[in-house]
Amino acid sequence: MTGGERVADTPQHRPARAPRLRRVGDGELQVRHRVLHGYRRAFRMAGEGPALVLIHGIGDSSATWAELIPDLARTHTVIAPDLLGHGASDKPRADYSVAAYANGLRDLLSTLGIESATLVGHSLGGGVAMQFAYQFPERTERLILVSAGGVGREVNPGLRLVSLPGAHLALSALRLPGMRLQVGLAVRLMRLLDTDLGQDAPELLTLVDALPDETSRNAFIRTLRAVVDWRGQVVTMLDRCYLTEGMPTMLLWGDRDSVVPVQHAYGAHEAMPGSRLEIFEGAGHFPFHTDPARFRSLVEEFTRTTAPADWSRDRWRGLLREGRPGAGASPAAGERDLKEASERSAT
Residues belonging to the active site: 123, 257, 285
Distance between CA atoms of 137 and 243, rounded to whole angstroms? 9
Residue 194's region, left for phi above 0, alpha for psi from -120 to 50, else beta, is: left
**Rounded CA gap, 22 and 24, in Å?**
6
CA distance 99 to 83: 12
Contact 79, 106 (CB under 8 A): no
Q: What is the DSSP letter of 307?
A: P
Q: Give the torsion sign (CA, 109, 42, 237, 344).
A: negative
* CB atoms inside a 10 Å sphere around CB 112: 17
Nearest 5°: the CA angle 272, 273, 275 is 70
Distance CA 257, CA 200 (A): 7
Identify the three-state secondary structure at position 114: coil
DSSP assignment of 256-303: T-SSS-THHHHHHHHHSTT-EEEEETT--S-HHHH-HHHHHHHHHHHH
Rounded-to-integer distance, Cα 192 and Cα 195, Å? 8
Residues near 228 by Cβ (< 8 Å), separated by ≥ 6?
155, 159, 160, 163, 234
Separation between Cα atoms, residue 175 and residue 39, nearest integer Å: 27
Residue 341, strand partner residues: none
CA distance 44 to 31: 5
- CA dist 178 and 119 (Å) reads 40
